[in-house]
Each structure stands twice: as C-alpha cells, then as structure tokens.
Structure 1
Amino acid sequence: MSKPIILIVDDEHDSADLLGMLLEMHFPDAGFFVAYGGREALDHATSQRPVAAVLDLEMPGMNGESLAHALRQKFVDRPPLLIALSGNVLLLSQIRANGAFDHHLSKPADTDALVHLLREQLAS
C-alpha cells in the first residue's frame, strides 16, 4: 500500500520547505509533496491524489482559493482535506463561508492544530 500524500503549497519557498520538514517529523508514514505554486500543485495532484492539502492563499498565478476549488472539482467523489493557511486574517475571514476549505488557519501556523487536523484525516 502506498503512503498517503499530503500536499503543501506556498510560494514562499522557505515557509513551504520548513512546514514540510516539520510535518514529516510528525507523520513519518506519510508522503509529502511541497509545491511553490498552484499550477505545480494541481499537476502533481493529478498524478498522486493527496489525502490533505495545506494551501497558502496569496500566490501569483493560481492562488490557494482557486486551487482548492480545482481540487474539489477534480476529486468530487472524495476531495482531500483542504486547509487554508494565510497571514492575511481579513482574507481568511472573507473566504470562510465560500466552502472552498475545510479549515482556516492563520500564519504562523499553529502546529498543534495543524497536526491534529492531519492526524484525524489520516486516521479516517
């Protein structure tokens, strides 16, 4: 059986890489794919379906909200757990009601909350 894939997307390379390393320590039995843009993430998700995705909202090109909608359309039968992550709390509150994301977290990420959400998803 293959490892469950967790997708991490942020145009800030250091933030994305650091979050990926941090989560790998908590979930050694999961696979991680770190992408630095929405299009790259969507292309990867096409070849390896993620069970969860942590998406930065403000990225050039395909932003996190557009990516979340695209992932929901691609995996209508069973979409991944979608977690919005942004330092823009106003934007987070604006998108809360649109249904694109399952959870909304502000940067810097509350690691315990993020780990808890991912642990629940991986257990189901």
Structure 2
Amino acid sequence: MKILIVDDSRFTQKIEGNLLKKNMPNSEIYYASNGEEGLEKYKELEPDFAIIDLLMPGMSGLELIKKIKEYDEKATLIVVSADVQEKVREEVDSLGTNGFINKPLNEEKVAEILKCVGV
C-alpha cells in the first residue's frame, strides 16, 4: 500500500510515517513538504491514500485537496491538522475527504485513519 504524507514539518512527517509503518509494515510511505510538491507526488505515485495537513506555506492543504479531487475524484484523503474550527471541518467535509483527525497523531488516531480508509 502506498501512502503519501503532505506536511511542512519534517518532525511531524517522521512521527506520522513511523506510526503508520508500525501498524502497516508492508506499506510504502512517501513525503511532500508543501501543497505543490504534494500534488506533483500524488500524480506521480497515485497512492492508495494521502494524509494532508491544512496549514502549509504556499498552496494550503484545502487547495491541495481541491486540486487532487479535480485530478482524481475518487482519491482517498485524510486531513490531519491542528486546526479544529468547525467551519474548517465543514469545508474539508464538503470537499469529499474521508476523515479529519486532530494533531498530534498517536496509536489511537492511526487506528482511526485505518478505519477511515477501510484497512
């Protein structure tokens, strides 16, 4: 299973990647540090699902979600963000994402992600 993590924090990428690898040892984890790179890697890799942060420099996570959905309307996208405003959650839901998980990620939240993507 190919997983793309899009987050501008290398530290967060490492934590999320390690937690996912621990729960899905046969998965291939790829990383992007901003929305532009995330879109490029999504098109190149066509991952089984992507985990996207909302607050990033340049192209935001919301904009990235819109662009990925234009490219692949069946894309499986999970938002992992510290932004917990109800308005933001509603916008994310309206874009057709598969889940919204609050940062920081932990074992319990990884189980939630796996449930969201049907693993």
Instruction: Give the alignment's TM-score, normalised by structure 2.
Output: 0.85
Question: Per-residue deviation at 1:100?
Answer: 4.2
Percent identity over the alignment? Answer: 26
Contact 2:3-2:49 within 8 A present in 1 as well: yes
2:53 is aligned with 1:56: yes
In structure 2, the residue matched to 1:114 is 110
Contact preservation (8 Å) 2:8, 2:33: yes
CA positional deviation for 1:108:
1.3
Q: Secondary structure at the match of 2:65?
A: helix
1:43 is aligned to 2:75: no
Instruction: Name 1:85's counterpart in structure 2.
Output: 80
Give the aligned residue type for 2:22.
M
Aligned partners of 1:94, 1:36: CA distance in 2, in Å?
Answer: 25
Please name the residue that 1:103 is paired with.
Answer: 99
Alpha-carbon distance, 1:97 to partner: 4.2
Q: Deviations over 1:63-119 (max 9, x none)?
A: 11111111111113x32x211111121164352442242211111125323334325
Q: List 4+ stretches of structure 1 deviating above 6 A.
A: none
Task: Pick from 24, 27, 30 the counterpart of residue 27 of structure 1.
Answer: 24
Tell me, which stretches of 5 or more residues in structure 1 are unaligned? none
Alpha-carbon distance in 1 for matches of 2:65, 2:22: 25
- How far apart in 1 are the matches of 2:116 and 2:91? 23
Superposed CA RMSD in Å reads 2.0
Q: Which residue of 1 aligns with 2:4?
A: 7
- Local SS of the residue matching 1:109: coil
Q: Secondary structure at the match of 1:34?
A: strand
Structure 1 residues 97 and 122: alpha-carbon distance in aligned structure 2, compared to 1, 3 A threshold: closer
